[in-house]
Amino acid sequence: MDEDFQTSLDDLRLFFLLDQAGSISGATRRFGIAKATLSRSLARLEDRAGMPLFDRTSRGLKLTQAGALMLPAARDATEAGALAEDVLRTARGEPEGLLRIAASALSAQQILGPVVAEFTRRHPKVIVRIHISGVGPDPLEEELDLVLRLGRPEESYLIARRIIGSRFALYAGREDAERLAHAPREAIDTLRRVVIDVPGAPADWTLTNAAGETLTLRSDPACLVGDPGVALGIIRAGTGLAFLPEVFGEPRAASGDFARILPDFHGPEIEIFASFPPKRASIPAVRAFLDLLVEMTAAALPAPATKWE
**Residue 111 resides in a domain:** yes
- Please identify, among 45, 60, 90, the residue that sits at the C-terminal boundary of a domain: 90
pLDDT band at 168 (very low <50, low <70, confident <90, very high): very high
Q: What is the average pLDDT across 52-63?
A: 90
Same domain for 293 and 149: yes
Same domain for 79 and 122: no
Q: Rounded to an integer, what distance in angstroms lies between the CA atom of residue 289 and that of residue 292? A: 5
Q: What is the average pLDDT across 219-235?
A: 83
Task: Calculate the alpha carbon distances from 212 to 183, 208, 215, 266 in Å.
Answer: 22, 6, 10, 11
Q: Domain of residue 109: give its range.
A: 92-161+275-300
Q: Rounded to an integer, what distance in angstroms lies between the CA atom of residue 8 and that of residue 182? A: 70
pLDDT single digits (tens) 263-285: 899 999 988 899 888 888 888 99
- Mean pLDDT, the chain, rounded, equals 83
Total number of domains constituting the chain: 3
pLDDT of 308 higher than 70: no
Q: Is the pTM of this model over 0.75?
A: no
Residue type, 140: L
Lowest mean pLDDT across 27-36, 51-60, 169-178, 180-189: 180-189
The whole-number pLDDT of residue 89 equals: 61
pLDDT single digits (tens) 48-57: 889 999 999 8
Same domain for 260 and 174: yes
CATH of the domain at 206: 3.40.190.290
The whole-number pLDDT of residue 232 equals: 82
SS3 category, 274: strand
Same domain for 251 and 200: yes
**Residue 306 resides in a domain:** no
Same domain for 233 and 178: yes
The whole-number pLDDT of residue 2 equals: 44
CATH of the domain at 85: 1.10.10.10
pLDDT single digits (tens) 140-165: 667 788 988 888 877 888 888 999 88
Number of neighbours of residue 269 by Cβ within 10 angstroms:
13
- Please identify, among 71, 90, 109, the residue that sits at the C-terminal boundary of a domain: 90
pLDDT of 199 higher than 50: yes
The whole-number pLDDT of residue 3 equals: 46
Same domain for 86 and 96: no
- Please identify, among 40, 73, 90, the residue that sits at the C-terminal boundary of a domain: 90
The whole-number pLDDT of residue 303 equals: 55
CATH of the domain at 137: 3.40.190.10
Same domain for 113 and 191: no
pLDDT band at 41 (very low <50, low <70, confident <90, very high): very high
Lowest mean pLDDT across 79-83, 90-94, 157-161, 217-221: 90-94
